[in-house]
Structure 1
Amino acid sequence: MITVTDLYRYPVKGLSAEPLAVLEVSPEHGIPWDREYAVALGTTAFDPARPEPLDKGFFLMLRNNEELAALRTRFDPATTTLSIHKGEAQVLSADLSTEGGRAQVETYMQHYLGPATKGRPRVLQSENHKFTDASVMSPVMMRAVSVINLASVRALGSALGREIHPLRFRGNIYVTGLEPWDELAWAGKDLTIGGLRFRGLERTPRCGAVNVNPETAERDENLPKALMRNFGHTDLGVYLQALDDGAVRSGDRVVLAA
């Protein structure tokens, strides 16, 4: 039996995961508030009125800015307020719907990361646009749902002789009950999760962002290299397209179409 264990969204690209009891999905919008915002480098040109998908290198993100993993964030959709904690202290609470709130985040990130922001960074949001890594591939991929097979994470950890934290892979839906790497065969297949229909899109290739330990904010592994060396590919996880409006819950069963 394949079962959902954990659910997450990432309201601001590159910042921490938000655990959820219920994950809403829709074909038109993907996951509400997932990668809704991004913090662009000072050198990035982006027009919110005419959004064009950009490579993740145009934004603050873990591949280049591992210090982001030391921040714990929470976003309240009802008030559009982002709270940032470092250690036990709250360092910021800002309303991202206001110019002043966005400016607070921009100032904090510029001071926190220094020259890495390449000038003053900019908090971005654009209607019907998501700042997902896969956005550059197609509008469907922009709204894709990321699934992580915990057995694949464990297999990678076994090959390295150490436990690998699953949140390195920043998935939306984590599942158990599969053999390692079975999820890679879901591309092109139909399935249901808790009765909602999905279609497998693409295997998820991994970049240097997964080298950052989400607990220590240290770049302590080269996981794409380890994947290739031990398994002959750099993929872990799969992207799905939601075909129904509804919600996924922890404990839901995953059933592949016959």
Structure 2
Amino acid sequence: MPTGYTITRLSTTPVKGLRIHHPDSIHLTPQGARGDRLFYLVDDEGGVQSCTRNPGLYALSAAYDEETRRLEVSRGGEVLHGGVVEAADTVDTDMWGLRMLAGDVVADPTWGSLFSEVVGRGVRLVRARGSAFDVHPVTLLGGASLARLTRHAGLAQIDPRRFRMLLEFTGGDPHVEDSWAGELLHAGGAVLRAGGPVHRCAATTRDPDRGAVDLQTLRLITGYRGRQESALGLGANFGVYAEVVEPGTVSLGDRLKLGTERPPP
């Protein structure tokens, strides 16, 4: 069994649910990639809003400068709004019943108006105190796993962007990442601890550029893998989570190597 793999794509976005970017390198911290999912949207009931039920978010792209604290959101190259982020009220957000995320509502009301118009109901923009990841800060997906799904679907290709994984890699058999739970992973200058499977949601059924539902990914995944258990219940699992044990920089072309240490029972 091969023990070496290669990082082929990195995907981040400053605002959860908006179009993802593909930097050449990222710096991993215990909260995930620096600058990733710093902001998120909540509705009037405090529920997290993402691209799963809000296809209009796919057309929006965000850029954030941590030094100046300036956020810009654009659509088709046109800047819709930008400004220095200032905090207003503090809010605690329930992240799918798995953890509570503390954040600060962004004071500028224009952000709320902009995103409310896009999603079609009242929402607020929140700056996370940490990162607005779902279960664990890092996600990984092997190219062989995507190739297996593509063959099952009878397609020439499936765009990996629809899965919005932080780290993509090549090497190994399909779904080899599922066997890594508890293993140490050396990715560039960072050390990770692999975790459980990623429970996929309906966001994966949407085209990553248009936001339109165009592929029944959940049905396809369970068609050859069955319904499997995860931290979020029974469903379609594809890719795995990981935590950051030692911070460091990960770049395209870096090797992803497995260690042998497992956590104590």
TM-score range, shorter chain: 0.7 to 0.9
1:61 aligns with 2:54: no
Aligned position for 1:97: 86
Greater fraction strand: 2
Look up the match of 2:11. 8
Alpha-carbon shift at residue 225 of structure 1 (Å): 1.5
Root-mean-square deviation over aligned CA pairs: 2.0
1:77 aligns with 2:77: no
1:52-106 residue CA offsets vs partner (Å, 9 max, x unmatched): xxxxxx1221111112112222222222222222224222223333668642221
Letter in 2 for 1:70: A
Residue segments in structure 2 that go unaligned for 5+ positions in a row: 89-105, 228-235, 261-265
Paired AA for residue 111 in structure 2: V
- 1:145 — aligned with what? 138
Task: From the superposition, tell whether residues 38 and 230 of structure 1 become closer, same or farther in structure 2 (CA, over 3 Å).
Answer: same
- Tell whether the 8 Å contact from 1:3 to 1:175 is kept in structure 2 after alignment: yes
**AA in 2 matched with 1:3:** T
Identify the range of structure 1 (164-173 vs 187-196) with the bigger mean alpha-carbon deviation. Answer: 187-196
The one of 86, 89, 94 equivalent to 2:75 is 86
TM-score, scaled relative to structure 1: 0.82
1:108 deviates by 0.8
What are the Cα deviations for residues 115-142 of structure 1, in whole angstroms up to 9, with x where unaligned? xx2x3x1111243x322121xxxxxx3x
* Paired residue secondary structure (1:15): coil
Q: How much does 1:195 deviate?
A: 4.8
- How many matched pairs? 231
- Deviation >4 Å, runs of 4+: 98-101
The secondary structure found in structure 2 opposite 1:43 is: coil
Aligned to 1:190: 184
CA distance in 2, matches of 1:79, 1:176: 36
Is the helix fraction higher in 1 or 2?
A: 1
1:224 equivalent to 2:230? Answer no
Contact 2:205 2:215 in 1 (8 A): yes
Contact 1:94 1:104 in 2 (8 A): no
Percent identity among equivalent residues?
26
Q: Distance in 2 between matches of 1:179 and 1:90?
A: 43
> Which structure 2 residues correspond to residues 10-49 of structure 1 after superposition, within 5 A?
10-27=13-30, 29-44=31-46
Name the counterpart of 1:248. Answer: 250
3-state SS in 1 of match to 2:74 = strand
8 Å CA contact 2:189–2:249 kept in 1: the answer is: no
- The whole-number CA distance in structure 1 between the counterparts of 2:107 and 2:18 is 17
